[in-house]
Amino acid sequence: MNGEKDLAELRQKYYGLFVNLLWKEPDVEFLKSLLDGISERIKGASGLSSSISEGWKKIQIYLEKNVPEDVEFEFVQLFLGPQKPEILPYESYYFAGSVFQAPLASVRSFMKDIGLVKNEGELPEPEDTLGFELEIMNWLITKQKKSEDSEEEKMWLDYQESFLKEHLLVWGPTCCDDIESASKSDFYKGVGMLLKGFLEIENELFKNRSSKKIDSLEEVRMRYGNIKDWKG
């Protein structure tokens, strides 16, 4: 994988896409821009991932039939409330059953190791929310692309592998399934499919890079107390 800057560019574009869709309510102009070239993206993805291709199709159908302002309402219903949201997109919730638990401390420890600091004034969501974890990967790929030699690039790829295998790839796919199947999910059904297909590709890219394996979500839940009342 070392030196594959074109691949890094493509991966970062997708991470940037997901950050825009899942960090907060998406910008209307950004949503409108998704229709530009979407047929080509669907066609290009068809031989790579059926989930990505189908996800783009659902997004296209939604945006051609609805005004993009409706997505903000759906985002709020799914992820924010006003009562308990249908989806709790936090690593702590998926690992330990509630938010602001030990998994959040683990994410913060990783951020400290790589020198990433959450800016003051950013959204108040904790660092183990799905949107922020996607931004961590986005940041790591930026560092990889700026590497001055293969040794430095390898270091940033090692960090990407660690974060994916210890965090995002453990709970992200299940969260995607929950987003896709949520009763209030319409536009975000496509987003859930798109992200799940992308994470499957990320898994393939990194799974044989080292001997480090990805624990199942069930194994991780056991470590955090084997709590039974899971949504995801």
- pLDDT reported for residue 227: 54
Cβ-proximal residues to 25 (8 Å cutoff; 6+ apart), any chain: 71, 72, 75, 76
Cβ-proximal residues to 172 (8 Å cutoff; 6+ apart), any chain: 130, 133, 195, 196, 199
Token representation of residue 157: 């790829």
Token representation of residue 34: 């998704």
Confidence band of 226 (pLDDT split at 50, 70, 90): low
**Eight-state DSSP code of residue 28:** H
Report which of residues 125 and 196 the model is more confident about. Answer: 196
Q: pLDDT, tens digit, for every residue of 31-64?
A: 999 999 999 999 999 888 999 999 999 999 999 9
- pLDDT reported for residue 1: 47
Q: pLDDT, tens digit, for every residue of 19-30?
A: 999 999 999 999
- pLDDT reported for residue 232: 41
Q: Quick one: what percent of the chain has pLDDT higher than 90? A: 86
For the entire predicted model, the pTM comes to 0.93
CA distance 190 to 192: 5
Point out the least confidently predicted range of 74-78, 90-94, 117-121, 148-152. Answer: 117-121
Cβ-proximal residues to 89 (8 Å cutoff; 6+ apart), any chain: 22, 79, 129, 130, 131, 175, 179
User: What residues does 90 pair with on adjacent strands?
Assistant: 129
CA distance 59 to 34: 8
- String of DSSP letters for 36-73: TTHHHHHHHHHTT-HHHHHHHHHHHHHHHHS-THHHHH
SS3 assignment, position 8: helix
Q: pLDDT, tens digit, for every residue of 67-77?
A: 999 999 999 99
